[in-house]
Structures are given as C-alpha cells and as structure tokens.
Amino acid sequence: MSKLLPSLKKVKKDGSKFLLLAAAACFLLASLLTSGCAQAPAPVQDDNEPAAEEKAEEVKADDFIILATTTSTYDSGLLDVLLPAFTEKYGTEVRVVSKGTGQALETGKRGDADVLLVHDRASELKLVEEGYFTDRQDVMYNDFIIVGPSADPAGVKGIKKVIEAFAAIASGGHTFVSRGDDSGTNRKELSFWEKAGIGDFGNWYLSVGQGMGGTLRVASEKQGYTLTDRGTYLSLKGTLDLVIVLEGDPDLFNQYGIMAVNPQRNPHVKYESVLKLIDFMMSPQGQEMIASLQIGGESLFFPGKGVQD
C-alpha cells in the first residue's frame, strides 16, 4: 500500500493540473464568445471597390439609347463622327441597330428602339400622323445615283431620266443588283420599276437582301448596275469597280429624317435623352459636322431640308 501512495499522489497532482488547464481554456473561450457578441468587427473597405459616389457615376455613365437607322448612315461612316461627339457632350451612349428603313420603322413601332434616323419621308410623315413617332426633323439629305460597270453595256450614261435608265437596263437584260431588304433605297428602286412599267424580272435581276455596302460589293463583283445613295458609294468607291452612270435627276433626291419613338405608346422610351440627340443633330454643331463629312472633296450628306413641301 505504501508503495502505491507515490503513484496515487502523482495522479492526483497531474489531475489537478489538467483541471486547471481545462478551466482556463473554458474561461478563454467564454471571453472570446462574449467579446464577439458584444461588438462585431468593423467591415474592411476594399481599396479596389469603388465608393458609393463612384458607383453612382458608373450607373450614370452606363445610360444609353437605341438608334435604329438605315445602313447608309452606318456604312458611310457618318455615325462614327456624330455619335462620339454627342456622347462626350451629354454622357449618353448611343447603341446603333443598322437595318433597312422599312425594318427600322417596324423596330420603332414595336418600341424596340428609342429614336430613328431613316430616309422614307412619306412613310415617316404618315407614321408620325398615326402616332407612332414624334418630334420628326428633316436632318440632312443627299441623292441617289445609278452606278454600274465602266463599259456601261446598257448605255445609261447617255440618259438623263432615271425611269428611262431603268427601262434600258431591263430591256437589254443587263445585270441589276437590288438590295431587296425593304430599305428606303429598295423602296425607291421599286417605285422606279413600277413607273417604268417593269413588272417581270428575269435572271438579270438579283435581289440580295443586303445593306447598301454589301449590295455595292455584289454589283462590283457581278459587273452589274444598282441604285445607291451617294454617301455610301463615295465611302466605298476605292474598293469598288463601279462608276456613276446617272445622277442629277430630281427624282433621285434623298431626304433623311430623325424622330423619336412616341413615349405615349411606349412609356419605357428614354424620351428626354432622345430629345437631346435630336437637338444635337439639328444644332449648329451637329449640322456643321454633317456638312464637313467629305471624301475626296465630295460631301456625303448636306445638312437640313433639301426641298420645300
């Protein structure tokens, strides 16, 4: 028994140490928990995260409007000049949907755009009267021309009237490339065929369903004729094997209009920003920028309204 006492004393002594250590650990844990409940640590600001004011500025900078426009204003490079200047002045981005005028008008009627820049004046005025669009302005104009191969197999260069030129192309079965996309240019072309009394088209007539730039390239490859606005032709002239064969007929006049989608029909339209764009395009600054766009000394567009009603 006496031999066991030292061992028992040692166990007792070690046990006491264990109890003391356990008690200390429990006390420390309780202190940490109490401290955490009493006061949560302050959030740490990430230096890379923008402040609230900066976030507000970012949201404002992300403001945008949608412009539905004909391909001629896009292909000619006009919008590359005008829209960055507008965004710099007002901080509103303009996102472009480039389509034929007919499709652009339908896009606006559905409310899938905020503002339109197109060239079918009669249709535009009718749709304004019907309440689809508002605040329309005659913003600029140029003219249509007929281009074709330099050899001019249809003899269009000796003709003064566009209707007679179309009749000559059809009667000789010479290749004609049509946009075929219900654009303002395509609508104008179809009206000329109708006035010329041409209703049946053979293999000589190619409807490609493309924008003005694509149509010009096809006409160049096929060495055919086509109707184009002057601005797009001048902007692509260096890449095309086509020459102007007819110009100057008053029937070839081409007016462009800018107008807002009516917010009474489509309340989501960003009307205030649209009015700023229209005002900018019609302002002395905007009109001067339109007039200054030239290629080889030739103007692509002329500011304002070209003819009186």
Average pLDDT in the 237-264 region? 97
pLDDT of amino acid 21: 38
- Judge if 92 and 222 occupy the same domain: no
Average pLDDT in the 7-21 region? 38
Who has greater pLDDT, 306 or 276? 276
Who has greater pLDDT, 9 or 102? 102
User: Which residues does residue 148 pair with via DSSP β-bridges, in sequence order?
Assistant: 243
Q: Quick one: pLDDT band at residue 308, thresholds 50, 70, 90?
A: low
Q: Poorest-confidence range of 151-160, 187-196, 295-304?
A: 295-304
**Is the pLDDT score of 67 beyond 90?**
yes
Q: Is position 187 within any domain?
A: yes
Radius of gyration of the chain (CA): 36
Q: Please state the domain count of the chain.
A: 2
pLDDT of amino acid 5: 32
- Judge if 137 and 259 occupy the same domain: yes
- The CB density around residue 266, as the number of other CB atoms within 10 Å, is 17
Average pLDDT in the 122-143 region? 97
**Mean model confidence pLDDT for the chain:** 84
Average pLDDT in the 272-301 region? 95
Q: Is position 50 within any domain?
A: no
Which one of 218, 233, 252 terminates a domain?
A: 252
Cα(161)–Cα(268) distance, rounded to whole angstroms?
46
Q: What is the DSSP string of 72-115?
A: HHHHTTHHHHHHHHHHHHH--EEEEEEE-HHHHHHHHHTTS-SE
Cα(65)–Cα(87) distance, rounded to whole angstroms?
11
pLDDT of amino acid 306: 85
Q: Is position 83 within any domain?
A: yes
- Judge if 284 and 234 occupy the same domain: no
At 117, is the secondary structure helix, strand, or coil? strand
Q: Is position 10 within any domain?
A: no
Contact 101, 70 (CB under 8 A): yes
**Is the pLDDT score of 3 beyond 50?**
no
- Judge if 82 and 221 occupy the same domain: no
pLDDT of amino acid 22: 41
pLDDT in tens, 85-120: 999 999 999 999 998 899 999 999 999 999 999 999
Residue 228 has phi, psi (to 5 degrees) of: -140, 155
Average pLDDT in the 53-76 region? 71
**Is the pLDDT score of 59 beyond 90?**
no
Go through 59-84 and write b for each residue having 16 or more CB atoms within 10 A of its CB, e for each that does not: eeeeeebbbbbbbbbbbbbbbeebbe
pLDDT of amino acid 307: 75
| Cα–chain center distance at 10 | 89
pLDDT of amino acid 107: 96
**Is the pLDDT score of 6 beyond 70?**
no
Can you give the residue range of the structural domain that contains 125?
58-142+255-303
Q: Quick one: pLDDT band at residue 17, thresholds 50, 70, 90?
A: very low
**Is the pLDDT score of 195 beyond 60?**
yes
Looking only at the bridges linking them, the beta strands covering 294-295 and 302-303 are unpaired
- Judge if 212 and 296 occupy the same domain: no
**Is the pLDDT score of 7 beyond 70?**
no
H runs (alpha helix) in the chain? 5-38, 52-61, 71-75, 78-90, 101-109, 121-129, 162-171, 184-195, 212-222, 230-236, 271-282, 284-292
User: Which residues does residue 243 pair with via DSSP β-bridges, in sequence order?
Assistant: 148
* CATH number reported for the structural domain that contains residue 192 in this entry: 3.40.190.10
